[in-house]
Amino acid sequence: MFVLSPGDALLRPQMLKMLPFTLNRLTISLQPSLEKFESQLLQLINDDCHNTKQPGPEGTQRTVAIQERRLHVGVHNGWCFLDKPQVVVLEPLASGAKGTLTKDSLTTSSLPQMLGLRSSLELRLTNHRALAIVFQLEFVFSAPIGRETMAQSESYPVSACQQCYPSPDGYIALAVREALSTTSTSRAAFLQCLRWGVWCPFQEPADWKGKEVQLVLQGGAKQNPHGVMVYSTEMSAKTQSPAPLSASGTAQVSEAKDTITFRLSSSLERKASSPKASLRTKQEDISRHRRSPSSPSQGQKHASLASPPDSPQGPGACSRVSNIAHLEMDLQREGGVSPSALDEGDPLQELPFTPVHAPVITLGMNVPSSCSVSSRSSLAHLYSAGFPDIVDSSGQVAEVLDSTEPVPFDPQREETDLLHGNLLVFQFLAFTRIPTVGVGPNWPDNIYFTFQFYRFPPVTSQQLKLLTSDKVQHKASDPLPCVLASINKDGTVNSGSPGLQVQFRVDDGFLKPGEKRWFLRYLALHTMHIDIWDSDSLLLIGSTAIELKYMLRQGKSAVQALHEVEVLTTDYVGDDTLLASADLVPQSGFSPMTVHTIVRGRLHLRTGSIARNTAQACRLEIDGEHVPSFRRGIGADTMVPGVHNLNEPDGGQRKLNCMAAVHQREGKEDAKAAKVTDRTKEARSAKERHQVKHSEERSKAEGIANMLSQAITTQHLLYASLGSAEYMEFVLKNPFNVPQTVTIHSDDPELSVITSTEEWSYFKALTKTLTPLEENMFHLEEGIPGPRVYLRPKESIHIPLKYQSFRCDHTMALQGPSFLPTGKGSQMAKKNLSNIVAAKTIKVTFKAEDGKPMAICQVNVEPTPHVVDQTFRLYHPQLCFLKKAIRLPPWHDPTGYTVGDSDTTTHISVRCSDPNIICQTRMLVPGEPQDVYLKVPGSPSPHIKMFFVMVFTDKWMAAPSQIWQIYVHFLERVDVSCVTGQRNCQSLVLRGKQAIRKVKCFSSHPQEIEVDPEGVFVLPPAAVQELQLKVQPWRAGSRFLYVNAVDVEHRRLVTAWLLCLNVHRPVLSKAFEVSVPVGGGRGSSRKITYTNPYTSSRTFLLRSDHPDLLQFKEDKFQIGGGESYTIGLRFAPSQSPGSVEILVYVNNLEEKTEETFCVKVSYS
């Protein structure tokens, strides 16, 4: 059951939690008694049927009998039933002892007084006012039927069996009247609704728990949720009237009213299980669902009833059977469903539920802050390090821009700048450590960076040392920036200029025609993603992004800006769980995770843009080294003829003369042998002459064919990037004097013909192509290699072609920093190959009706790198599918629409560069956010899978609005269940590879995870090394930690583990409360008395989950058996009011917790 989410229109309706309830001790009392009620009912039916025109012989007046008594029980929400109502069989019962029922028997003298359900019935309810339980009492009657009636009934339409008409005694089915008109040994069965009732358990205070509920049953022509006609007599119609429910949930019932009595209790409390429904009950339920569909209803007071349909249904469905052993089986046979199909069960009904792969990554959220938070002393320390200045071509220092102020952007002024070249500089200056839980104060020690600028190849820097100064005094609340210095290959710190400088040169040689506008737009609107890594453990420290708009010069010769951005990472934490909790509701398998953003540090870097008046070829410059960004292709009018060595003049004769000379040298002096040799040489020479002649003829034929093919071939050079569609038109002319039907065939599916007139019009308007547009120009048939087009004699038409590729190279550099090459400066970064589409040559052949080519269009595809807008790094267990959802934020695409805006209907589609990855998005109602769903197949550890996701906001996917680069790190999963403050040991197995390695293990939280062996050890080839993990967490909940095994010589990752911790809270022994004044500067001291419960002397260790707020007088103490010890506590002062709970652990030497104290500290 769903309800709307209050206060947030972006959220989907919430699904209420359904709880199991048990309905037991159910009885139905009919007035004046069960025997008289049924006797009167049978008398009225027989009398009514006896008044037919063809009465049967004597003894057939009272042949209608009651076969079964049933009760339909369903849950209604005011609109419809949540599930199909359950059908149970009632039995006549006689009242026995209080609270018990006994079955009626023909041999006993006691007569049945009520109908009862001997077992219990399980329902699923939720606490909501609109929910109601609907009861419907139904009888199954059997009557004789003859052959004439059977033949007559077969001629009637189906609707005739459901007609009914009023009589003085009630509503009687017409089919039953006809069924009793003749006599036969065969019998027919029909259903009739007699009473119904509705009860809303949650409309008033639910004080019915544990009590007996009594409800009045209704009858007659009244509104009911099932929308069927209900039996009623004149006497019962007068006595039956609705009665309101009392405060206790029980209806005030008079003696002359039919009632139902039951008890409703929670299945979680009683632990009662409901009986399984029989096969015949399910079959009858399916039959009634097919024959008598219920209509939607509207909620009313005390009972959520519905208005009756315009044409009320009859009392039930009729059936002709030879035996009435099981009515439900016979009804199913009439419906044509085989019993074997019923054994498979009912098909499950899909709920209106959209699966969301939690947690959802929200794109554009948690953007690193770029405001400067460093003090003046920290900035003075930073500028005194001696970083190189950014100067223009004349040696003047570049103008400084404030990174916290907005930048005016004038596109026209940027495009008309006379200084076309730009030298873009990135200077990585320093890194400020921020204390983080689980790591030491001097972490990290060495770092390196990975990033990609525009469509240049990705860059991986070498190791950079974080230098600290002991001379400068600073406060703990204001840590000093650590200046970055490059590290040589031998591990020593480079003595050159500090920091790392990376330069990119962008000029007219690099930019394609018309690309400058897009490059300036990239600088104005985009940010550059930077990943910061620990070069020792190869663990990701965090990520950040800098705005590139401060590199726009706006006509100036050079500009620079200083950035101080936060380095962020995400941590997934689950709910806290108490050890040995006794919750009544069982915990589900999915625990909700909360995404926390953690600030790991602040990165100090400087960006600059220097004007260059040069027209050199495009290149990537990193400390003076020039690397071409892409290879230039062959021009459109350039042709490369074939080269044939044997086509030179007298080439064949020269070869024969050489071969004859060789044969003459091998001749013998004997005359006879000479004659034989001469004959052999003549035969061999003739054979070789024939082969050379045949080769010459074949070469000439191939040459002629190549020349003819080149004569009708038009070459086109195309620069393509990932996901972008390149549009072109080919002018096809019919050179013949007769009409031709030309078949167009492309040898590569990425180059296709645009056959849709709407798509063709879209690309013509997008590229501003002023050529004629024709509708229904192409003819498509199955089995032909491509579309066909009709040409009149000597006619020329424009064929629209589109090239678009979603595939690219996914190879990437190994994880780890680069090493400083020999002879290079200190500011060098490693250049990786760019992930671009493959270069290829595609031919589009236009064949005439005779199958010969009429024209050939040869497209030479030259790849160009693409722009990466966002980078994601995800960690997942190995060999498991990764399911993730990325929520799209509102952003403006080049077409002018706003993605995520409820006022526009933007068509959003996604494509992935890896065909083995499922990437899709769903169209939602306006006003709701759009999500991109990913399903990535797993790989073994420590493999990293990289791919691109392209997001399109136009219908025909002309160009991606955004391109995401996603890295998925697969790790070996290790599940650990432990308690806070207590050490838990876990064994891991590290297997050797093909070569011997020196390995060291690192953890993401060294203060919570210790790895044994701790130092460097040798891992032989194909060897097995056991690692011992000592896990001692301090926070409760579900968490993820990481352990890496690193080759220390080559700085490469060997194996990675993902530790999935399920940490419980300990059982508290005692609780204390203390008040500490705020702003005192001295803190507060307290003491706790601890008694050794053992009879022998023991040594204990003191631990705290907040060591920054609480310190012990002694962290270790020894105490004799039964003696007491005073634990001295020292609480640190606080500058702000508040309260915090601190846990104090008394552990033994093995770090097993003996006692746990909770101290609630109030700062006031």
| Domain positions in the chain | 2-14+26-342, 369-579+597-627, 713-721+726-803+836-861, 869-1065, 1070-1163
pLDDT, the chain, mean: 76
> Is residue 107 predicted with pLDDT exceeding 70?
no
| Tokens 């074949």 belong to residue | 698
Give residue 196's pLDDT: 92
Q: Cα–Cα distance between 1000 and 1019 in angstroms, integer?
A: 10
Which range has the worst mean pLDDT, 146-155, 407-416, 655-664, 1008-1017? Answer: 146-155
Query: Beta-carbon neighbour count of residue 289 at 10 Å?
Result: 13
Q: Cα–Cα distance between 875 and 1040 in angstroms, integer?
A: 10
Contact between residue 763 and residue 725 where contact means Cβ atoms under 8 Å apart: yes
Coil, strand or helix at 1030: strand
Nearest to 1154 by CA among 1078, 1069, 1076, 1089: 1069
Tell me the pLDDT tens digit for each residue of 533-553: 999 999 999 999 999 999 999
**412 backbone dihedrals φ, ψ, rounded to 5°:** -65, -35
Which range has the worst mean pLDDT, 614-618, 972-976, 1016-1020, 1107-1111? Answer: 614-618
Nearest to 729 by CA among 805, 830, 824, 799: 799
If you average pLDDT over residues 1004-1022, what whole number do you get? 93
Q: Cα–Cα distance between 786 and 494 in angstroms, integer?
A: 63
Sign of the dihedral defined by the CA atoms of residues 1082, 1088, 1094, 1096, in that order? positive
Q: Which comes out higher in pLDDT, residue 555 or 328?
A: 555
CATH number of 369-579+597-627: 2.60.40.150
> Is residue 1104 predicted with pLDDT exceeding 60?
yes
Give residue 887's pLDDT: 84
If you average pLDDT over residues 850-857, what whole number do you get? 92
CA dist list (Å): 340 to 283, 333, 336, 337, 345:
12, 12, 12, 8, 10
Most confident of 100-114, 616-630, 972-986: 972-986
Most confident of 33-37, 41-45, 488-492, 841-845: 841-845
Q: DSSP H helical segments within 667-811, as ranges? A: 671-711, 757-767
pLDDT band at 110 (very low <50, low <70, confident <90, very high): low
CATH superfamily of 1070-1163: Immunoglobulins (2.60.40.10)
> Is residue 286 predicted with pLDDT exceeding 50?
no
Contact between residue 583 and residue 418 where contact means Cβ atoms under 8 Å apart: no
Displacement of CA 768 from its chain's centroid (Å): 39
Nearest to 226 by CA among 300, 162, 316, 328: 316
Q: DSSP H helical segments within 887-1004, as ranges? A: none
Give residue 745's pLDDT: 94
Question: CA dihedral defined by 60, 61, 67, 73, rounded to 10 degrees?
Answer: 150
Q: Enter the DSSP assignment of 913.
A: S
CA dist list (Å): 88 to 135, 199, 879:
11, 18, 48
Q: Cα–Cα distance between 481 and 498 in angstroms, integer?
A: 13
Q: pLDDT over 90 for what percent of the chain?
A: 39
CA dist list (Å): 552 to 543, 609, 833:
24, 7, 27
Tell me the pLDDT tens digit for each residue of 859-901: 999 888 788 888 888 999 999 999 998 888 765 544 444 444 4
Give residue 649's pLDDT: 38
Query: Beta-carbon neighbour count of residue 871 at 10 Å?
Result: 20
Contact between residue 450 and residue 817 where contact means Cβ atoms under 8 Å apart: no
Tell me the pLDDT tens digit for each residue of 904-924: 457 889 999 999 999 998 766
Structure tokens at 886: 């990325």
Query: Beta-carbon neighbour count of residue 551 at 10 Å?
Result: 23
Which range has the worst mean pLDDT, 431-445, 471-485, 647-661, 697-711? Answer: 647-661
Nearest to 219 by CA among 367, 37, 62, 46: 37
Q: Enter the DSSP assignment of 647.
A: G
Coil, strand or helix at 119: coil
Which range has the worst mean pLDDT, 320-324, 418-422, 734-738, 982-986? Answer: 320-324
Q: Enter the DSSP assignment of 80.
A: S
Q: For strands 882-887 and 360-362, give the pairing.
A: parallel
Give residue 706's pLDDT: 76
If you average pLDDT over residues 55-79, what whole number do you get? 76
Specify the DSSP element, H or E, that contains 993.
Answer: none
> Is residue 14 predicted with pLDDT exceeding 90?
no
Nearest to 467 by CA among 487, 439, 438: 487
If you average pLDDT over residues 179-198, what whole number do you get? 70
Specify the DSSP element, H or E, that contains 549.
Answer: none
Using CB atoms within 10 Å of the CB of residue 409, give its burial: 0 to 12 exposed, 13 to 18 middle, 19+ buried: middle
CA dist list (Å): 1062 to 439, 970, 1002:
20, 20, 21
Give residue 663's pLDDT: 57
Specify the DSSP element, H or E, that contains 934.
Answer: strand 931-936
Displacement of CA 149 from its chain's centroid (Å): 62
Structure tokens at 65: 């009998």
Q: Cα–Cα distance between 100 and 25 in angstroms, integer?
A: 8
Q: Cα–Cα distance between 1142 and 1086 in angstroms, integer?
A: 14
Specify the DSSP element, H or E, that contains 658.
Answer: helix 651-665
Domain pair 869-1065 / 1070-1163, same fold: yes
Displacement of CA 477 from its chain's centroid (Å): 40
> Is residue 944 predicted with pLDDT exceeding 80?
yes
The DSSP line for 946-969 is: EEEEEEE-STT--S-SEEEEEEEE
Q: Which comes out higher in pLDDT, residue 948 or 382?
A: 948
Q: Which residues contact 434 (CB under 8 A, 6 or more apart)?
A: 479, 599, 600, 601, 602
**1160 backbone dihedrals φ, ψ, rounded to 5°:** -95, 115
Which amino acid belongs to residue 1015? G
Which range has the worst mean pLDDT, 34-38, 238-242, 805-809, 982-986? Answer: 238-242
Nearest to 398 by CA among 557, 234, 184: 557
Q: Cα–Cα distance between 586 and 113 in angstroms, integer?
A: 42
pLDDT band at 658 (very low <50, low <70, confident <90, very high): low
Query: Beta-carbon neighbour count of residue 105 at 10 Å?
Result: 11
Structure tokens at 1048: 């220390």
What's the residue count for the chain? 1164
Cis peptide before 157 (omega within 30 of 0): no
> Is residue 605 predicted with pLDDT exceeding 50?
yes
If you average pLDDT over residues 180-185, what whole number do you get? 44
Which range has the worst mean pLDDT, 63-67, 241-245, 861-865, 876-880? Answer: 241-245
pLDDT band at 56 (very low <50, low <70, confident <90, very high): very low
Q: pTM for the complete prediction?
A: 0.63
> Is residue 463 predicted with pLDDT exceeding 70?
yes
In angstroms, the first-to-last Cα distance of the chain is 47
Pick the CATH number of 869-1065 from 2.60.40.10, 3.40.50.300, 3.20.20.60, 3.30.300.30: 2.60.40.10
Specify the DSSP element, H or E, that contains 101.
Answer: strand 101-103
Structure tokens at 403: 């990174």
Q: pLDDT over 70 for what percent of the chain?
A: 68
| Class of the domain covering 713-721+726-803+836-861 | mainly beta
Give residue 86's pLDDT: 92
Q: Cα–Cα distance between 817 and 1042 in angstroms, integer?
A: 19
- Residues facing 1110 on adjacent strands: 1131
- Residues facing 165 on adjacent strands: 172
Q: Cα–Cα distance between 1164 and 272 in angstroms, integer?
A: 52
Q: What angle do CA 1028, 1034, 1039 make, to 5 degrees?
A: 75
If you average pLDDT over residues 279-302, what whole number do you get? 40
The DSSP line for 314-375 is: -S--EEEES--S-HHHHHHHHHT--HHHHTT-PPPPPPS-----SSEEETT-SPPP-S----
Tell me the pLDDT tens digit for each residue of 1115-1147: 999 999 999 999 999 998 888 889 999 999 999
> Is residue 814 predicted with pLDDT exceeding 60?
yes
Q: For strands 558-574 and 1037-1047, give the pairing.
A: unpaired
